[in-house]
Structure 1
Amino acid sequence: MGFFDWLTKPNGLTLPDLSASYANTGIVSPWSDGELGKIVWSDVFGTTAQFITRAEAMTIPAVVKARSIFVALIATRPLRSFDAEVEVATQPEWLSRTDGSISPFHRMAWTLDDIFFHGASLWGVERDADGNITAAERCPIELWKTDASGRILVNDKAVDSESVIYIPGPSEGLLTMASRSLRGAAALETAWIARAQSPIPAIELHETVESGVTADEAKDVVAAWAQARKDPNGAIAFTPYSIQANALGSSSADLFVEGRNFTKLDVANFFALPAALLDGSLSTASLTYSTQEGKRNELLDYAVPYWAGAIEGRLSQDDVVPKGERVRFDFSDLLTPVNSPIGATQED
């Protein structure tokens, strides 16, 4: 049983240990052991960076929407093989079908997800006697990695380079290059939720006379106040003679309104998306007139090729399709002009 059989039908199969005989793929990841990443981030920020996780990133609404836009645009498009500019008559079946329980849509959706967040994806493939690919499945990101020498390890065991397709993305991945901004966005989401539950201004409960309140008793008083402020009538409170409630700061939503808007702009930049598609806007003074068609063109001209091109380029290599052929997503339904509902334009 090979790697592809294990990937599609695990059933407790054990991967062969190819450590000694592994043919080097030439893939060297500077992030494989994390040390280089620590050095670079320390040089930039003066400390070891705390990288955000995918789960945390997916709690940020702008990230979810950006991911959804690209999955909807790219994962739903069929893959086609071309020889020069002509579509190959007999298309490889694996381009449009999968053998496991995961559909081609989900294969591509999670391939994009891997590239968005981690900077690379991995497919397991099955080949015939001539070396042609007959089936392809995505390998879950948590199961594989690369070591310092460029070997691909699945469950910490090296696999044959002919049994996998390593798909590098156009960047290191958002969890690396956007980690600081995404952590700030996640913190902002947490902050405004906390403010919504306990509206500002912040309150200091100041003891005006010595009453011998212990630390535990003070914590109980603060907890009771915090709980009371979440009540619909939380704007009204009672304090005993010995405690004075002091408001700190003023009630302002600017930080959360503007901050969350700039989060959308940051996420749009990291995803190479037009900011308007995430409902983000620049300052009023710099707003320019734009149309839906203009945003659509910008998306298809710059954003989609940025992500789709990485997958197309890798699947067009000679170890995937015959020499001279190339693989492309079929965007013809998006790029072909739609006829006018009242017919073609004619001169009077």
Structure 2
Amino acid sequence: MGIFSWWRTVEQAERFATLQPSRALASPFAGESTLSQAVVLDDVFRAKVQPVTRAEAMSVPAIARARNLVCGVLARQPMKAYRGTDPLPEQPTWLTRSRYFPPRLRALWTIDDCIFFGWSLWVLDRGAADTSGRRPILDAYRVDPARWKIDQGRVIVTDRTGQDFTVPDDGYVLIPGPSEGLLTIGAETIRAARDLERMWMSRVKNPTPIVELRYTDIDAAPTEDEARDARATYIAARQDPDGVVMVTPPGLEVVTHGDKGLELFVQGRNAVSLDVARFFNMPASMLDASQVNGSSIDYENNAIGRSAYYDITLRTWALPIEEALSQDDVLPAGQYAAFDLSALTTPDAGTGPALED
């Protein structure tokens, strides 16, 4: 690896270390491959808040759908090596085969890393040097974000036994995403979406609008303890399966104050979907979101939305991986890697794009 290639990897590593806090170890499938739960200082409100985790983000329906639309579709498209406009007649085997992890799932979780964390790491198996001194790549393994870190410009990976080891400079590919990651740039949106979902669930349990228990008889005004008991009795009655029918004592009137909350839930959830679509660079209609409150999305030209999804959304997330795998220390000079998206522009026969065995 030449001095400039070494500088590139170190510069990327230092940028990652600057942007990302340390993280605890976790299984890649346990939903814990997220930022550590240390309390941080919010830049806006100057208050202590918990970092957003990937599991919390995926609990937001709009984010889960957007993630699946990007990862699921893009990972199914074959990654190929090209020279000029033509695929190489003999493709690098590590693009389509791996003894560590199924290649399409490797691509899926790499895209997932770029979406949520802004970075992904592949550790490389290299063969013996050829006559030019180049060590060809034999295999590549995507490392869960919870199992690697940057320490003084070096990539440190923690294995399954908890042991740390330093990856050689030519033993990894660091893939930067198109942004700092959804857990960073979308933290406030994720928190707001989760709060909205909690409020929505609470409203399902108690669908009646804001309620006031009003005593109409001034002479029978209750004491503080009596008012508190009346409130607790009413809440318990509403939570009872038969709570739709109740009896109020003389002098007590049940007054409801509008139903603005329902409108807030509908518009708020639509707004969350719109914001998520913007984060993913995705047509809002794909997340069932309307650009105009109260309007139907049926009028939207589906052909335009489909074209924008292929040409803008998928290519936005494909670009970082393609560029990282096209570097001269990954593929020989004059070659580059790219997803073959041609299958997306032709009718699907049900088998998906043609893939290497």
Same fold (TM over 0.5): yes
Which residue does 1:31 correspond to in 2? 19
221-230 or 185-194: which moved more?
A: 221-230
Match of 1:133 among 108, 131, 137: 137
Distance across 1 between alignment mates of 2:347 and 2:205: 50
Cα drift, residue 108 of structure 1: 1.2
Deviation of residue 47 (structure 1)? Answer: 4.3
Provide Cα deviations, 1:139-162, integer angstroms capped at 9, x if missing partner: 111111223x33222235432222
Change (3 A) 1:194 1:134: same
- Residues 109 and 239 of structure 1, relative CA distance in 2, 3 Å threshold: same
Q: Specify which of 320, 331, 335 is matched with residue 341 of structure 2.
A: 331
- The answer as to whether partners of 2:214 and 2:255 remain within 8 angstroms in 1 is no
Deviation, 1:60, is 0.8
Aligned match for 2:222, one of 194, 209, 231: 209
2:90, 2:19 → 1: CA distance? Answer: 40
Change (3 A) 1:209 1:276: same
In the other structure, the counterpart of 2:73 is: 73
Partner residue of 1:234 out of 216, 220, 243: 243
Assess if the C-alpha contact under 8 Å between 1:115 and 1:168 holds in 2: yes
Root mean square deviation of aligned Cα: 3.1
Which residue number in structure 2 is paired with residue 17 of structure 1?
A: none
Per the alignment, do residues 32 and 59 of structure 1 end up closer, same or farther by CA in structure 2, a change over 3 Å counting?
A: closer
- Sequence identity percentage: 36
Give 1:87's aligned residue: 87
Q: How has the CA–CA distance of structure 1 residues 227 and 108 changed in structure 2, closer, same or farther, with 3 Å as cutoff?
A: farther
Distance 1:265 1:296 in 2: 17
CA distance in 2, matches of 1:204, 1:250: 11
CA distance in 2, matches of 1:235, 1:337: 53
**CA distance in structure 2 between the aligned counterparts of 1:296 and 1:197, rounded to whole angstroms:** 39
Q: Structure 2 CA distance, aligned partners of 1:199 and 1:298?
A: 39
Amino acid across the alignment from 1:179 = A
Question: Structure 1 residue 307 and structure 2 residue 306: aligned?
Answer: no
Q: Deviations over 1:165-222 (max 9, x none)?
A: 111101000000010111111111111110011113233557832385698xx5xx75
Among 270, 285, 290, the residue aligned to 1:281:
290
Say whether 1:114 aligns with 2:124. no
Query: Which residue number corresponds to residue 148 of structure 2?
Result: 144
* Aligned-residue offset at 1:31: 1.8
Cα separation, partners in 2 of 1:325 and 1:24, compared to 1, 3 Å: closer
Whichever residue aligns with residue 223 of structure 2, its letter is E
Distance in 2, Cα, partners of 1:245 & 1:332: 67
1:81 CA drift (Å): 0.2
Distance 1:276 1:32, change over 3 A: closer
* Conservation of the 8 A alpha-carbon contact between 1:24 and 1:151: no
Structure 1 position 224, deviation (Å): 5.5
Runs (4+) of structure 1 moved beyond 6 Å?
285-288
SS at match of 1:309: helix
Q: 1:285 to 1:60 in 2, by over 3 A?
A: closer
Partner of 2:98: 98
Q: Which amino acid aligns with 2:54?
A: R
> Are 1:260 and 2:264 an aligned pair?
no
Task: Give the secondary structure class of the aligned counterpart of 1:171.
Answer: coil
TM-score by length of 1: 0.78
1:161 paired to 2:159? no
Aligned length: 306
| Equivalent residue, structure 2, for 1:184 | 192
Gaps of 5+ in 2: 1-7, 23-38, 130-134, 159-163, 216-220, 349-357
Deviations 1:252-283 (A, max 9, x none): 41001111111110000001000011010111
Residues 317 and 326 in structure 1, CA contact (< 8 A), matched pair in contact too: yes
Q: Separation in 2 of the partners of 1:69 and 1:261?
A: 18
SS at match of 2:77: coil
How far 1:228 sits from its partner (Å)?
Answer: 3.2
Equivalents in 2 of 1:337, 1:191: separation in Å? 42
- 3-state SS in 2 of match to 1:181: helix
The answer for unaligned runs of 5 or more in structure 1 is 1-22, 339-348
Equivalent pair of 1:51/1:180 in contact (CA under 8 Å): no
TM-score by length of structure 2 reads 0.76
Task: Say if 1:178 and 1:270, in contact at 8 Å, map to a contact too.
Answer: yes
